[in-house]
Amino acid sequence: MAEPSTAPGNGETIPAPAHAGEVRAEAPARIQTIALVDDDRNILATLSISLQAEGFATRVYTDGEAALKALLDNPPDLAIFDIKMPRMDGLSLLQALRAQSSLPVIFLTSKDEEPDEALGLAMGADDYIAKPFSQRLLVARIRAILRRSELVRAPIDADSGESLPDTVVRGRLQLDPARHQVAWDGTPVSLTVTEFLILEALAMRPGVVKSRNQLMDAAYSEDVYVDDRTIDSHIKRLRRKFRAVDPEFAAIDTLYGAGYSFADG
């Protein structure tokens, strides 16, 4: 198996390539570093390449103790441990790490290790992923966790900062993302999760046409695909529920051949 340029020894930081493979806008792109700890060098190499392609810098360790030291000394933004490792396994490593650090950690587990999940999470891992897994899933989890920890780290700036608008109002629609609650002219309408997500995607950008694919993206995780008509079904039920409250309801427009949109106020 081809090895990465340098033998995956311990701790070299491999910068991400300049043109990160995937597009990610967000903040003024600071390259984030991820530490990988696993005894299998092939896995390390593959993971490393994948993550670099996604725009992360990586640091790899095959030895738990060495890793621990480095993680404390010069913490990355996130660490990924294999649960099973020879000298010092992932759980012990996490335990030792947690004594001094709150670094975000993702566990890798083999399929046949159900109980470890609970255990790992209880011990303070931020997430765990069962092998084998897709690159897509891993990257999604990583980004989710990094986003979360950034929010914590950069807490509610000024006092005024907490200004997350509780409810979004779009004409006669009131929508409360935090509570998953919706009302029309003040009358509450009870929606299922999927319905809510689709409505939210539409209502957040009134007038903008959302294709069925875009709505799927809003309502489902990235690795799920459902039939286009399924979106239609949800729209159907949304309309029905709103019509039950207001027979004249017509705020969800169909754009033949394009998708749906929420009527501008």
| Site residues for DNA per CB under 7 A | 19, 23-24, 28-29, 140, 192-195, 220, 224, 226-230, 232-237, 239-240, 254-259
Q: Which tokens is 122 given?
A: 């209880």
DSSP string, 221-243: -TT----HHHHHHHHHHHHHHHH
Q: How many CB atoms lie within 10 A of CB 206?
A: 15
Residue 29 near which of DNA, a copy of itself, none (CB within 5-8 Å, type-dependent) = DNA
8 Å CB contact between 66 and 9:
no
CA distance 10 to 60: 6
8 Å CB contact between 260 and 215:
yes
CA distance 72 to 68: 6
Nearer to a copy of itself, 46 or 246 (CB): 46
Residue 3 near which of DNA, a copy of itself, none (CB within 5-8 Å, type-dependent) = none
What is the number of alpha carbons within 13 Å of residue 25 lying toward its C-beta?
A: 0
Residue 240 near which of DNA, a copy of itself, none (CB within 5-8 Å, type-dependent) = DNA
Considering the complex, what minimum distance in angstroms separates the CB of residue 171 from a copy of itself?
Answer: 16
Nearer to a copy of itself, 185 or 227 (CB): 227
Q: Where are the beta strands (DSSP E) in 151-223?
A: 168-170, 173-176, 181-184, 187-189
Considering the complex, what minimum distance in angstroms separates the CB of residue 214 from DNA?
Answer: 13
Helix ranges (DSSP H) in 36-163: 41-53, 64-73, 90-98, 114-122, 135-153
Residue 182 near which of a copy of itself, DNA, none (CB within 5-8 Å, type-dependent) = none
Nearer to a copy of itself, 25 or 247 (CB): 25
Considering the complex, what minimum distance in angstroms separates the CB of residue 27 from DNA?
Answer: 10
Residue 86 near which of a copy of itself, DNA, none (CB within 5-8 Å, type-dependent) = none
Considering the complex, what minimum distance in angstroms separates the CB of residue 201 from a copy of itself?
Answer: 10
Considering the complex, what minimum distance in angstroms separates the CB of residue 175 from DNA?
Answer: 16
Nearer to DNA, 164 or 193 (CB): 193
Nearer to DNA, 9 or 207 (CB): 207
